[in-house]
Amino acid sequence: MAPSSIAPPADARLSTGALAVTRHLLAHGPATRGDLGDLLRVSSASMSRLARALVEEGLVAENAEPLPGVGRPRQILSVVPGARHVAGCKITGSTAYGVVCDMLGDVKAITKAALPARSADGSVPAAATVRVISQVVARLGRRVPSLDGVGVSVGGVIHDRSVVREGTFLGWRDVDLATPLRDRTGLPVVVTNDVTALAREQLWFGAGRTHATFGVVTVGAGLGFGVVREGHVVDQLIDNGHLLAHAPLDSHGPRCGLGHAGCVAAYLNRDDLERHASALAGRPVTLAGLVERATGDAAAARLLDDAARALGHLAATFAGALQTTRIVLAGEDVATIAASPVLAETVAERLRPGPQETQRCKLDITVAPSTFQDWARGAAVTGIQHVLGAV
Ligand SMILES: [Zn+2]
């Protein structure tokens, strides 16, 4: 934004500008006032005000960098890593995985706790879950000087950064998680979809450093999708990723849980993949068991190659629909499936131009396997963004 543009009130403008400076320093490292002013299109007077305010807040430090010769030393701004600490918690169907992160998203402590046993209706009791998360947060809080906020991520549909409208693995409908957690911890709380949290983490500390628009696909118990467009994370997908997950690939292929023949999910959902592997073996086979079998069993190896092909098509289709060259593949099972060369071959085939086509496109598809701790880190980074006022 140019400094001369119509502006909101002075205090609001300051916080927006301060956030832009902080975000840039976090994503790209230390910078001079002059460089920041040029990059963010802020006048040098405004930049000095922003720098002073951030230094007073304790978020940013300014240090002189001596230059060779007699020139005036340059003032370098950098984020103070320990200025804020936020707890992040990833909730699965059975466990709360917690981490505490500093401003740079570096993990300072980890812990985990079992969620309460399921009720007779199959759902995980919400009030007892809130108590478990509070205990996890309290435990993490003892490991750092002080906590400034909490980020919680859950698989499913989240409304208003607070209410779990559909908790896929918890059996929840319309459970307000943020309000009771805020009451118990006395801290700001943000609740988010787990893949959206990974996309937020990538926006500041990963793909977002080089790409304003990118997609995140997670492969594991289910398929998950995160979308970042022009630097903004899409908080709630219109379909929770359903349209991409069930895109048809082969009408003669295996069926997904919804009965589609040969859709993307039929090849990639862990449950579906294990069901097909079990049918092939004539006994229950886990994904790890399938990988073991694949070394000496062509049919088992084909299931993994087919999964890699489905993932390649999915990544290419997602990139084309989003019009980005960058897709991040993540999730607990992604390393297993991306190990097959069929993934890269499929993407290359999708990109092969026709004889009259002159435009060439190259996709940057990265694999970032995620442990539950990585998922929790996504929640913590979302918490940091929330505490700093980032939208
Ligand atoms: Zn399907």
| Last residue within a domain, chosen from 79, 102, 125 | 79
Q: Are residues 262 and 364 in the same domain?
A: yes
Q: What is the pLDDT of residue 232?
A: 94
Residues 141 and 6: their CA atoms lie apart, in Å, by: 42
> CB under 8 Å to 233, separation ≥6 — which residues?
196, 199, 200, 203, 226, 227
Instruction: Measure 253 CA to ligand 1 centroid, in angstroms.
Output: 11
Does residue 186 sit in the same domain as residue 218? no
For 65, the token pair is: 């960098």
Measured in angstroms, how far is the CA atom of residue 324 from the centroid of ligand 1?
Answer: 25
pLDDT (0 to 100) of residue 4: 37
248: CA distance to ligand 1 center in Å? 8
How far, in Å, from the CA of 259 to the mean position of ligand 1?
Answer: 6
CATH classification at residue 221: 3.30.420.40
| Closest to 88 (Cα-Cα) out of 168, 172, 150 | 150
Domain with 379, as residue range(s), is 84-199+373-388
Distance 256 CA to ligand 1 centre (A): 5
Residue 156's Cβ-count burial label (10 Å; 0-12, 13-18, 19+) is: buried
* Structure tokens belonging to residue 279: 């049918």
Q: Say yes or no: 58 and 176 in one domain.
A: no
- DSSP string for 251-285: TTS-B-TT--BSBHHHHHSHHHHHHHHHHHHTS--
pTM: 0.91
Which among 293, 381, 366, 356 is positioned nearest to 325, based on CA atoms? 366
The answer to whether 50 and 22 have CB atoms below 8 angstroms apart is no
Distance (Å) from CA 261 to ligand 1 centroid: 7
Cα(262) to centroid of ligand 1, in Å? 7
The CATH number for 51's domain is 1.10.10.10
Distance (Å) from CA 349 to ligand 1 centroid: 24
Q: Which of 79, 102, 122 is the last residue of a domain?
A: 79
- Domain assignment present for residue 205? The answer is no
Q: How many helices (H) and strands (E) in the chain?
A: 14, 16
Question: 62 and 31 in one domain?
Answer: yes
Residue 259 resides in a domain: yes
Instruction: Mention every residue, 6+ apart, whose C-beta is less than 8 A from residue 134.
Output: 181, 184, 185
| Whether residue 364 sits in one domain with residue 381 | no
Q: What is the DSSP letter of 82?
A: G
How remote is the CA of residue 223 from the centroid of ligand 1, in Å?
A: 11
Residue 3 lies in a domain: no
List the beta bridge partners of residue 232. 229
Q: Ligand 1 centroid to 271 CA: how many Å?
A: 12
**Of 79, 97, 126, which residue constitutes the final position of a domain?**
79
Q: Are residues 46 and 91 in the same domain?
A: no
Closest CA to 364 of 337, 330, 331, 325: 325
Q: Is residue 1 part of a domain?
A: no
Q: How far is the CA of 70 from the centre of ligand 1 (A)?
A: 68
Same domain, 261 and 317: yes
> 30 and 89 share a domain?
no
Residues 6+ apart with CB under 8 A from 23: 204, 390
- Whether residues 145 and 251 fall in one domain: no
Q: What are phi and psi of 218, to 5 degrees?
A: -115, 140
Same domain, 362 and 377: no
Q: Is residue 70 part of a domain?
A: yes
Total residue count of the chain as it appears in this document: 391
Domain tally for the chain? 3
What pLDDT does 391 receive?
67
Asked if 62 and 121 sit in the same domain, the reply is: no
Instruction: Establish if 365 belongs to a structural domain.
Output: yes
**Does residue 223 lie within any of the structural domains?**
yes
**Tens digit of pLDDT per residue, the chain (391 long)?**
333 333 333 333 336 889 999 999 999 999 999 999 999 998 989 999 999 999 998 999 998 877 677 677 788 999 999 999 999 999 999 999 999 999 999 999 999 999 999 999 999 999 999 999 999 999 999 999 999 999 999 999 999 999 999 998 999 999 999 999 999 999 999 999 999 999 999 999 999 999 999 999 999 988 999 999 999 999 999 999 999 999 999 999 999 999 999 999 999 999 999 999 999 999 999 999 999 999 889 999 999 999 999 999 999 999 999 999 999 999 999 999 999 999 999 999 999 998 888 888 999 999 988 899 999 999 999 999 999 987 6
Please check whether residues 339 and 255 belong to one and the same domain. Answer: yes
